[in-house]
Structure 1
Amino acid sequence: MNIEQLENIVEVTKTKSLAIASKNLHITQSAISQSISKLEKELGVKLFTRSRSGTIPTLEGQIIIQKAFEIIKNIEEIRVEAQNQSNNQEGEIRIVTIPIAMDSLVKMISSLIKDYPKVKFEISESGSNEIMNSINENKVDLGLIAIEKDSFVKEKGINFEPFLEGEIVVGVGKNSPLATRKSITPQEMLDYPYVVYNEVYNREFLEHFSKTVGPVQILFTTNNVSAILNALEDDIAITVGYDFSFFNAPAVSNGDIVTLEIKNYEQQPIVLGWVKSEKLKNSQFYRYFIDRLIQAFEEANLYKW
């Protein structure tokens, strides 16, 4: 038995119709019917009968459905109370992130502002090592860092929570002949010049690639995303970056950039995760914040932990 099943039988009782209830609940009529059948089987009681008047509770079902009404009412009261507490939550949350996660973080904060209108969010960019120092010195509350898998050394008083594992992919413009493909080989990568976002893991990847496969031609390195997009759009270069760095990027969503898997090239996976002080106050609020971001990656089928 679960809340969804109780909501289903309550809505069917209100509307006397599986069709109308399914429309109100935004699920299929078949899903509601199966949900009710499973609940009836679990309880050993037939809850509804069908007649010219519609879908009507049985005598045995009336008692159970009345209790379901009471449960749903209590659940709604809990939700309202939780929302009220959210709206009354005050304070400041200081977050620092590596640059490749900024797009995802900004989108998540925009969503949270609706739930926490009285909370002030402060967000900035920095490198992973600098973020760890800021956590130690209590300059920030939460940090989003990227490190090589299994390389995190636990420091006293700091918690690390990994939630996403990624690998380097190749990004190409929609006008590139590569844009219709899903992957590229290391040898093929040597045929193209590169524009690179100035981030340590991108540089380290290309340095290792040049030593193991062959030297690559780098046109320029920059922190200006627009400059990279223009180079890709004009098809004068390609780029590299971790797959999760492209998450929420408008250029990927609208098709201006296509990402390609690198075939037959062994990589050291990188892990994206949160760091925070064990002494951090208001941990429930931060837990909710972290869970919301993880949920966003799950919905995009990018959660890999």
Structure 2
Amino acid sequence: MTLTQLSYIVAVDKHRHFATAAKKIYITQPTLSMQIQKLEDELGVLIFDRSKSPVVPTAMGEEIIKQAKEILSGAKHIEDMVAVQGENLRGSFRVGIIPTIAPYLVPLFLKPFVDAYPEVELVFEEALTAEVLKGLNEDYYDVGIIATPTDQHIFEKDLFLEPFLAYVHPEHKLAKKDKVCVDDLYNEDLWLLNEGHCFRDQTMKICKQNNEKRNKAPIIFESGNLETLKRLVEQDFGVTLMPYLAMDDHDTRCANGVVKEFEDPVPSRKIRLVYSREFLKKNLIDAFAEVIVDSIPKELESQEEKMVIE
């Protein structure tokens, strides 16, 4: 029995599919299946019922997986203790980050962090907020980067405030304004992300607060990611809201859309670093947060908490 084999059965339990689990942990499915089969042969029990779809653990398998998680957590704790000793930070550092932040924030700080801490192995995974929090509680992630507060027993470190921006078609009436205000969203139909994204929920809160004043239910068009929303606006006459970093490199010479800032009070979201263990890897967490804050655009450093949408 090896730690690797235990990590494989935990992965299959998490994804309930051998091929998906193999893909997520970057090995081939035959390798995964062979190692789990070897473990089952060694123990003399079936860990998974392969006749079910999705695959499920057997009764004994559930107990084995539960113990495997505790063993893997203990092994990780030992590795972490060693990694944080001395002046040079090193070791693995797994980050769960929501999709409306990852493609825009990570490129800003990745190179500075790697240059400063070359012995740290960074692993990023995009996941929705609920999945990030679940991964933290299970010690799968070392830290998470999210945009909403949490009532769970985890620690939070505020990174920066990110304003919302409006993105409109050039022929839309809002394109003629110098700045838009929240009231402008009263009578507009918005492109939104699908359910599960916190950015969708935050956009809905802005619209709900305003439309309730006029007893108007907004018509909602849904899509899968922010880049799709941009393209929909450029092909239509609709409106969508974007986080600041998603539009920071917006090229108005190519894109057929117009970015509009909000008047005061500017709605914004708070980007947070969250983690479940206060002391383990604390110096690495602090270094990670510092590099992120140092890498964001200067105009975000002076944002005021006037209208934070949680």
TM over 0.5: yes
Please state how far the C-alpha of 1:166 moved relative to its aligned partner.
Answer: 4.7
Tell me the equivalent position of 2:101: 101
Aligned to 2:245, which of 237, 247, 260? 247
1:126 correspondence with 2:127 = yes
The answer on whether the counterparts of 1:186 and 1:263 sit within 8 Å (CA) in structure 2 is no
Q: 1:293 deviation in Å?
A: 0.9
TM-score normalized by the length of structure 2: 0.55
The 1:147–1:181 alpha-carbon spacing in structure 2 relative to 1, beyond 3 Å, is same
Partner of 2:228: 227
Find the aligned partners of 1:299 and 1:187 in 2 and give their Cα distance: 28
Residue of structure 1 equivalent to 2:219: 217
Match of 1:181 in 2: 177
1:139: Cα distance to partner?
0.9
Q: Shift of the alpha carbon at 1:284?
A: 2.0
Matched residues in 1 for 2:217 and 2:209: separation?
Answer: 10
Structure richer in strand, relative to its length: 1
Instruction: Go from structure 1 to structure 2 and tell me whether the alpha carbon gap of 1:237 and 1:143 turns closer, same or farther (over 3 Å shift).
Output: same
1:141 positional shift: 0.6
CA contact (8 A) 1:141 1:280 kept: no
Deviation, structure 1 residue 239: 0.4
Q: Secondary structure of the residue that 1:99 maps to in structure 2? A: coil
Are 1:165 and 2:161 matched, yes or no?
yes
Report the secondary structure of 2:135's partner residue.
helix
Q: 1:224 to 1:166 in 2, by over 3 A?
A: closer
1:274 aligns with 2:270: no
State the SS of the aligned residue for 1:183: coil
Structure 1 counterpart of 2:96, which letter? V
For 1:40, the equivalent position in structure 2 comes to none
The structure-2 alpha-carbon separation of the partners of 1:194 and 1:138, relative to structure 1 and needing over 3 Å to count, comes to same
Distance 1:188 1:205, change over 3 A: closer
In structure 1, the partner of 2:47 is none
- C-alpha contact 2:161 2:300 (8 A) present in aligned 1: no
Number of aligned residue pairs: give it. 209
Partner of 1:289: 288
Q: Deviations over 1:72-130 (max 9, x none)?
A: xxxxxxxxxxxxx99x7542211112222211124312432333344322112233343
Structure 1 residue 258 corresponds to structure 2 residue 259: yes
8 Å Cα contact 2:159/2:289 also seen in 1: no
Measure the CA separation in 2 of the matches of 1:183 and 1:89.
45
Aligned partners of 2:187, 2:144: CA distance in 1, in Å? Answer: 38
Matches within 5 A, 1:197-212: 197-198=193-194, 199=197, 200-212=201-213
Partner amino acid, structure 1, of 2:92: E
Residues of 2 paired with 1:127 and 1:146: CA distance? 10
What SS does structure 2 have at the residue aligned with 1:281?
A: coil
Q: Find out whether 1:299 has 2:301 as its counterpart.
A: no
AA at the equivalent of 1:226? E
* Unmatched 5+ stretches in structure 1: 1-84
Identity %: 15
Alignment-derived partner of residue 195 in structure 1: 191
2:146 corresponding residue in structure 1? 145
SS in structure 2 opposite 1:258?
Answer: strand
Closer, same or farther in 2 for the Cα pair 1:192/1:127, shift >3 Å?
A: same
Residues 242-280 of structure 1 show CA distances to partners (whole Å, capped at 9, x for unaligned) of xxx221545536574413315679x6x643211113355
Higher Rg: 1
Cα 1:270–1:247 change in 2 (3 A) is closer
**Would you say the 8 A contact 1:163–1:303 is kept in 2?**
no
> Which amino acid in 1 is paired with 2:283?
Q
